[in-house]
């Protein structure tokens, strides 16, 4: 769903995720001539840090026919990146195969939304940790959620594996196991060593911003 008056770019990709058709808005958004886009892999033009999350969603689309929306960065001819939100769905190509239909529009992060969302993430971490202390870790624990919330709350101050383990009171081995699982899901960039910073993928950060910024509705009794 797009806002009224928003410029939406459209594209068609083949089963190898190569552009086969792009409209004028897509050309303007990407900055490449149409001739340079046609036949080019969509993932090749995607920022390296955003490819894992994008690949995961594409595989899910093929396996389950689940259309998806992702916020990511596209590389422009001058090697700068444009931040876009892309919606991708699968459709028959008329030749017995499949093609991908994509729409995209440019997005920019909103500092107030990020700030509000990070504050909510901080409160959520506090609630989870307090619950573990009061009720016992086996009964009130969500390691992957706690790691994601902690990384999101830190913003531009990424944490090392050891620091995450210390903050959440997990062993380094348990923390590493969950980081690998989160990396496989396209949610974090895994550290090469215990001293390397752990960062959320752009997809995970944008998704958490949206979730945590959503207005809360009062619960209605059943």
Q: Which pair of tokens denotes residue 40? A: 């080019």
The answer to whether the CB of 56 falls within 8 A of the CB of 187 is no
Report residue 3's pLDDT band, with 50, 70 and 90 as the boundaries: very low
Give, for 160, the enclosing helix (H) or strand (E).
Answer: strand 159-160
Query: What residues contact residue 34 under an 8 Å CB cut-off, 6+ apart?
Result: 22, 27
Res 111: pLDDT: 59
Q: Mapping DSSP to helix (H, G, I), strand (E, B) and coil, where does residue 11 land?
A: strand
Res 113: pLDDT: 64
pLDDT one-digit tens code per residue, 129-156: 888 778 877 777 788 889 999 998 888 7
Strand partners, 38: none
Least Cα distance to 203 among 6, 19, 60 occurs for 60
The answer to whether the CB of 104 falls within 8 A of the CB of 53 is no
Rounded average pLDDT over 160-172: 91
Report residue 192's pLDDT band, with 50, 70 and 90 as the boundaries: confident
Distance CA 50, CA 42 (A): 12
pLDDT above 60: residue 220: no
Q: Which pair of tokens denotes residue 159? A: 């944490």
Confidence (pTM) = 0.60
Res 89: pLDDT: 95
Rounded average pLDDT over 151-163: 87
pLDDT one-digit tens code per residue, 193-213: 777 889 888 888 878 887 777
Rounded average pLDDT over 78-105: 91
């Amino acid at each position: 769903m797009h806002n009224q008056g928003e410029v939406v770019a459209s594209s068609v990709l083949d089963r190898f995720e190569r552009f086969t058709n792009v409209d004028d808005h897509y050309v303007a958004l990407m900055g490449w001539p149409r001739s340079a886009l046609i036949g080019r892999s969509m993932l090749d033009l995607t920022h390296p840090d955003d490819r894992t999350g994008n690949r995961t969603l594409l595989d899910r689309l093929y396996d389950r026919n689940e259309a998806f929306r992702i916020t990511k960065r596209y590389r422009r001819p001058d090697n700068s990146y444009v931040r876009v939100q892309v919606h991708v769905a699968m459709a028959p190509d008329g030749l017995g195969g499949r093609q991908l239909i994509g729409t995209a529009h440019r997005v920019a992060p909103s500092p107030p939304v990020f700030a509000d969302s990070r504050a909510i993430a901080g409160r959520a971490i506090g609630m989870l940790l307090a619950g573990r202390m009061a009720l016992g870790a086996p009964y009130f624990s969500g390691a992957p959620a706690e790691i994601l919330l902690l990384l999101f709350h830190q913003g531009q101050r990424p944490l090392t594996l050891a620091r995450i383990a210390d903050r959440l009171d997990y062993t380094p081995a348990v923390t590493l196991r969950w980081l690998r699982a989160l990396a496989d899901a396209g949610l974090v960039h895994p550290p090469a060593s215990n001293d390397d910073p752990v960062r959320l993928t752009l997809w995970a950060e944008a998704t958490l911003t949206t979730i945590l910024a959503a207005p809360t509705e009062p619960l209605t009794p059943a």
